[in-house]
Amino acid sequence: MENTVDQEESSSLLGKAKQPAVILTESVCETMDEDEMEDHRWRQEVHELHKDTGFIGRPSLGILSVLLALMTLGEMLCWTPMISLLMRKVCVSDNCDPVKVQETMSSISSSTMVLSGLLGMSLAGPWGQLSDRMGRVRVFGYMTLIRLVGHGLHLISLSPWCFYSKTFIVCTGSVGSLSGGMFSLLANTYSYIADITEPQHRTAAMGVLMSVLYATMGLGPIFGSLLVKLPYIGGDNFPVYCALSVDLIAATLSLLAMHEPRHEQARRNSCDSSASGKSNALGPLKQLWRPLTSTGSTEPRHTVVLLLMLDVIYLCITAGLGPATLLFASYRYQWRSEQLGYFLSATGMGRACVLLLIAPHILRLLRSRYGTRPKVLDKVDVLCIRFSLCTLLAGLALLFYRNEHESTMYVYAALQAPTALCSPTIQATVIKYCKKTETGQCFGGMALLRSAVMLVFPALLLRVYGWTVSTRPELFLAVPLACASLAVLISFFLQARTTGPLDGQPSALANGQPDALVYGPTNDGSLVSETPSQTAESARDVALAQAETLRENCAQA
């Protein structure tokens, strides 16, 4: 009788083991999607809570775009006027020797970059953790208030009635970096997006936000140039006054009007993690070091490391090259605040047009052909990254070898436009491999890494430019040109996953595809990477073990 019961239990379990589709769908999918299901439930609850509020109060991509535009506008209105004010301040002390003025400005700018980079690197991780614990909106408000104070102090240090001191100028120019810099701002923006959008829509949402960023970066210098030329009230100081007003509006909007998109339970969990001692300054970096899969594969870790390397190199070339390029244009072509503003506007508007008008159609075409895999690097991601880096290399080569005429600068700006797709693609791809409940720390870790790189590279380029400006000013471009070549080479090591469930589809095994690969995060943060045959064998082993346990229990009974 006992043998009959044992045989029936064993055959029943083994019969289930022979159905790998059902087992994988019920076990692995439940395990790897548990965090996502909870995250989805939280998004739905927040949406229901704020569905009856107005546009300003309801968490949405629209109000986030408005806030990001205001914060970026406040920064860009100050950029070119500060260069002119600094040049005027240095010129008085150095008797307006063009070469000496360039060398002094390069020294001040590089020192400011170093100090700002140190502050940004030190605070990028804590800002990400603070965002998870206190909420995205409150962090936006604190960042804006710090920028407001920084812009005001920097204007005072460059005023004609203020004493001339390089140390004072460097210190006041670095106060705004206490907010974590632009990278912490973008990290908090991406965390806001992760709170309100589904995973399959985050790349498009990040592209929209980056287009708003680039458009504002393009329009900001134009507005600044127009404000400088206004009769009676115009001048290099007036755009800075307007920037202070914009910062005040952004701070009021984020602290008093906007509602928090992050669920209260998610914030409570982050606070518990911090109180238990699991949180530290370098903790966000650990989120980027992905664990091995259950089969011991290091592919997720290698993919994330390669993506971070490309992100760092891209950042060095684009953001790190900016200050030195502006100084180069002011020396080679005698550009001043107005011309520099037009160049920055052309660059920003070009990138915004690519992200808003061209990129959606290209992405739709590529996704219809190759599909989208929401948990791994796919073919669309690789193509976007590789194409962006190739155009970046072409623009740098043109500027290095053909810089006799100022029209080259605008051709260079046009070639930089397609590169706008690189950063949001990398950010959205990296977050595929991170735990969904710790997106703020993941983005904070990337911001920390970016800040550490920006601590060195912009200052290095400014130093190189200061050394070569008297002999061959364009020689500093050889450094980013070599970096761009390295980035293109690294991009060919990215391997897109060609198997696994596509976006919006159930598991491939559930569809009866025997060679598909199931891939996703588990409860402990590791990754599952098993073929159906391996899963079936594992299920049979579990069934046999359960049958043996039942047999022993029956014998004891």
Structure confidence by residue, pLDDT tens digits, 127-178 = 877 887 788 888 899 999 999 999 999 999 988 888 888 889 999 999 988 8
| 55 and 19 co-located in one domain | no
| 529 and 419 co-located in one domain | no
Nearest to 480 by CA among 312, 228, 240, 303: 312
Lowest mean pLDDT among 10-19, 187-196, 353-362: 10-19
Q: Residue 233 domain-assigned? A: yes
Q: Hey, is 46 helix, strand or coil? A: helix
Q: In terms of pLDDT, which residue wins out, 545 or 82?
A: 82
| Cβ–Cβ < 8 Å for 129, 284 | yes
As for how many domains the chain has, the answer is: 2
pLDDT band at 487 (very low <50, low <70, confident <90, very high): very high
**pLDDT of 388 strictly over 90:** yes
**pLDDT of 308 strictly over 50:** yes
pLDDT in tens, 221-273: 788 878 888 877 777 888 889 999 999 999 999 888 888 877 676 666 666 55
Q: Residue 153 domain-assigned? A: yes
Lowest mean pLDDT among 63-77, 281-295, 376-390: 281-295
Please state, in angstroms and rounded to a whole number, the distance separating the CA atoms of residues 391 and 106. Answer: 28
CATH number for the domain harbouring residue 374:
1.20.1250.20
| 405 and 550 co-located in one domain | no
Which of these three, 491, 520, 538, is where a domain ends?
491
| 152 and 266 co-located in one domain | yes
pLDDT in tens, 311-355: 989 988 887 788 888 888 888 888 877 788 788 878 888 888 888
Phi, psi of 293 (to 5 degrees): -75, 175
| 16 and 76 co-located in one domain | no
Consecutive H or E run containing 530:
strand 527-530
| 76 and 174 co-located in one domain | yes
Q: In terms of pLDDT, which residue wins out, 508 or 233?
A: 233
pTM given for the model? 0.63
Task: Name, in order, each residue with C-beta under 8 angstroms of 542's C-beta and a sequence gap of 6 or more.
Answer: 17
Which of these three, 438, 459, 491, is where a domain ends?
491
Which of these three, 466, 491, 516, is where a domain ends?
491
Q: Residue 280 domain-assigned? A: no
Q: Residue 471 domain-assigned? A: yes
Q: Residue 397 domain-assigned? A: yes
pLDDT in tens, 101-116: 877 887 888 788 788 8
| Cβ–Cβ < 8 Å for 147, 71 | yes
| 78 and 118 co-located in one domain | yes
Q: Residue 499 domain-assigned? A: no
| 514 and 414 co-located in one domain | no
Residues 53-71 have a mean pLDDT of 86
Please state, in angstroms and rounded to a whole number, the distance separating the CA atoms of residues 320 and 199. Answer: 30
| 487 and 529 co-located in one domain | no
Locate all alpha helices (DSSP H) within 402-438, ordered by sequence.
407-416, 422-432
Domain that holds residue 18: 2-32+508-556
| 341 and 440 co-located in one domain | yes
| 470 and 521 co-located in one domain | no
Q: In terms of pLDDT, which residue wins out, 288 or 365?
A: 365
| 199 and 161 co-located in one domain | yes
